[in-house]
Chains A and B, each alone.
Chain A
Amino acid sequence: MAKITLIDRRGSDDQHGIEAEAVNSKAARELYTKRQQIYPKLAHGFFRNLKWAAMVVLLAIYYITPWIRWDRGIDRPDQAVLIDFEGRRFFFFFIELWPQEVYYIVGLLVLASFGIFLSSALFGRVWCGYACPQTVWTDLYIYIERWIEGDRNERMRLAKAPLSLDKARKKVAKHTLWLLIAAATGGAWVFYFGDAPTLFREIFTGHADPSVYLFVGLLTFTTYALAGTMREQVCTYMCPWPRIQAAMTDQHALSVTYRGDRGEPRGPHKKGESWEGRGDCIDCHQCVAVCPQGIDIRDGDQLECINCALCIDACDEIMEKVGRPKGLIAYDTHVNVEKRQRGEPAKIHLVRSRTVLYAVLMVLVGAIMTYALATRSTLDLNVIRDRSPPFVRLADGGMRNDYALKLINMAPRVRRVRITVSGLDGAHLISNGHQVDANGAIEVDTQSDGVANVRVHVAAPSNVGPGSHPMRFTITDTETGEQAESASAFFAGAAP
């Protein structure tokens, strides 16, 4: 499938060589240099297949998730995953969160952070290599480019060729497909923020909100620009992660490594020639040709390397052909390379204090979140004391304060709650509009999955001294007994 330029290298009969320059190689790096286009060659092998699989799964999750339905009853959104800004809710299958419960999201982010710390400590930049959207979409875009324009050499030839009908056709086809994918990416994004089928219809009939078109447009543009034209520059110049990454790993973290101990001294190898006194690397540049970042892994660890492991596949293929053991490039560490150079046995340390710590922290955060979610209260109370007037003097010499109560009911049904006050001697509820029962409580209905506003007044006898007195409001579900409390204060003024 892949075309390899057969070149005569220094008179050898080496058939595996390829004219490939690492455009971003350490040697080529200058303070001022224009970007050179990279034409990654298709790799074959375990890691390429793994990356295809990851791509299919991740893209499927992204595009399909908004279409999954989840029944929540009549008049409630039936979208499994929905960020409802207007209704101020976040729906995730059986979980429904209110804005003030954003700490669950924070917990999720903390969990994700520890996850990426752990994966970095174990396997270096696996996130970059397999899961990062930039990598996934760039991979998809290169796949399409390759499908239309051919593999590396054909693409390079096409780029050099003068404009012809065929070239124009290929370019138009490629960019059209790219734009379609970009639009679908932007389109899928907005589906997370509204009912997907409705929004889908609205978008195509021109009835969607301008903001929807704005976001689709924005993400279409960024997808097209980042995955189509900017590619490796995003990783190298824009993304902060390669910098932070350095703090996340140590010398024991696995990363894609050229085993120089085994490869050097490198040089072309003729069929039938002895392997004595030379390294396994036949300097065929296949590892360079497949690299989407335009570097030469044999230069060692580099900021540009996203650990996509495609060079492992490329080199393994060559090693098989020349009859040497695979793994000249492999997931390994420099410590090991040096050890082997010294003739010491190499060892991989996956269980280290930092990986154990990250794992323990992940379990801990996960447990706390599960517990919090399982015992999540669906009743809450906010009390806002009126500040104007700060207090009201009554005819009988007593004092009155006024309060706005927000009864927050997160359950999807109307619940009846009793409002009571406590903590201040003689303080009692009064209300025009609601009946105060014999126990001094007011019973009101909450809203179903909503906030009910209730105004109540609290009166205290004349002997309450001037100043602020702590006091509590409690609401109790009349059926289940579930309670929510809120601390507040009663303020009494001095004599007139």
Chain B
Amino acid sequence: MTEKTERDHVSGTETTGHEWDGIKELDTPLPRWWLYIFYASIVAAVIYWVLMPAWPMVNGYTHGVLNWSDRRNVAAEVQTLEASRAPMFARLASASTADLARDPELQEFARAAGESAFGDNCQTCHGAGGAGAPGYPVLADDVWLWGGSLDEIEHTIRVGIRSGHPDARMSQMPAFGRDHMLSAAQIGDVTEYVISLSAARDRLHPNAQSAARGAQIYLEQCAVCHSATGAGDRTVGAPSLVDDVWLYGGSREEIRRQVELGRNGVMPTWERRFDDGTIRALAYYVHQMGGGEADQAALAPATSTPVLDQDQGQQSGANVTP
């Protein structure tokens, strides 16, 4: 940079002395406003270091005079939010079904709180909006295994199904095939009969002879829980076989496989995980998905009522199976 500089006559600014093919570079100073903002930024940065957490140290970091912490602030905000919601949860927990029906504000709260809890905890199995999945009941429909009133739904959420909770909802579909209670032919016949009972007969067209043979087996093995008409029994959690809604799939093969394998799903108990208000909110949310039923007064929540325990199933199976 030893080149001689000169003054440009148009702008009155010095050149840097660099020249390319007659084009000279002006040594225009930084615009003042830019320079001042630059200095101000440096000052602001130093002030920031002093006030706010800034520099990493060997153990931890400089906390700054203000001792600012986003983590603490968020925790405090969450706490404030929870505190502000607590009265509504308390109101919800103590509200009777009739109270809830009369109170649009409480309903709105229950719906919102329920939706949020459902999304975090239930949606994985039951699907968004209670859409269900094979093996996981649809909650949005009007088909209920254990009852669709607000109270029944709430009880199911509390105790779970085959959950290990002392009062858990319990039912046991035997595995007629795997446990050799029925022969493959018998299972085929009973499947045809079940189809003939259900609304699926219009699309699956059961074999009449096979179904007639299956009728006898059905009466011996299945009617205890599913009832002679196939209407099911909610007190024992036995699904209705007359509709066209199938927990493990509605094709002929899927129905047959359920008779063969008798799969029994598990729903955890949520009593220890949620407070009463949240459970009530969840129940309300599920109830209003569309299939919720009116409350039957004083319908006592079913306690552990295994219909067919393992022994019975095997015994009766032994009678039939050669």
Contacts and interface: CB of A to CB of B under 8 A. Distances in A.
A32 B11 contact: yes
B292 A432 contact: yes
B291 to A, nearest CB: 7
B207 to A, nearest CB: 19
Given A392-B140, A393-B141, A495-B250, A432 B287 contact: yes
A496 B129 contact: no
Contacts of A496: 200, 244-246, 249-251
A209 interface: no
Given A388-B127, A389-B130, A496-B251, A397 B288 contact: no
Interface string A374-406: 000000000000101110111111001010000
B141 A395 contact: yes
Contacts of A432: 287-288, 290, 292
A8 B140 CA distance: 99
A30 interface: yes
Nearest to B243: A395
B291 A392 contact: yes
A433 interface: yes
B131 A394 contact: no
Counting chain B residues whose Cβ lies within 8 A of the other chain, the interface size class is: 20 to 34
B111 to A, nearest CB: 9
B88 interface: no
A29 to B, nearest CB: 13
Contacts of A462: 199
A415 interface: no
Contacts of B240: 395
A462 B202 CA distance: 12
Contact of A455 (B131, B143, B288): B288
Task: Tell me what chain B mostly uses at the interface: helix, strand, loop, or mixed.
Answer: loop
A457 interface: yes
Interface in B218-261: 240, 243-246, 249-251
A455 B289 CA distance: 9
B290 A397 contact: no
B129 A397 contact: no
A193 to B, nearest CB: 28
A465 to B, nearest CB: 13
Interface string B18-55: 00000000000000000000000000000000000000
Contact of B141 (A32, A388, A394): A394
Interface string B110-140: 0000000000000000011111100000101
A278 B176 CA distance: 123
A397 B244 contact: yes
B203 A495 contact: yes
B70 to A, nearest CB: 20
A393 B288 contact: no
B57 interface: no
B10 interface: yes
A144 to B, nearest CB: 25
A389 B127 contact: yes
Nearest to A397: B199
Interface in A4-31: 30-31
Interface string A34-77: 00000000000000000000000000000000000000000000
Contacts of B290: 392, 400, 402, 430, 432, 457
A31 B10 CA distance: 9
Interface string A62-106: 000000000000000000000000000000000000000000000
B129 A389 contact: yes
B245 A388 contact: no
Nearest to B251: A496
A343 to B, nearest CB: 45
B142 interface: yes
A392 B140 CA distance: 7
B33 to A, nearest CB: 12
B203 A388 contact: no
A396 B202 CA distance: 13
A386 B290 CA distance: 12
B10 A388 contact: no
Interface of A: 30-32, 386, 388-390, 392-397, 400, 402, 430, 432-433, 455, 457, 462, 495-496
13 contacts: A388-B128, A389-B128, A389-B131, A389-B132, A392-B141, A392-B290, A393-B141, A394-B291, A395-B141, A402-B290, A432-B288, A433-B288, A495-B244
Counting from the closest, the 10 A-B pairs by CB-CB distance are A496-B250, A389-B131, A388-B128, A388-B129, A395-B243, A392-B141, A392-B140, A457-B290, A397-B199, A395-B143
Given A389-B130, A392-B291, 4 more contacts: A388-B127, A432-B287, A432-B292, A496-B246
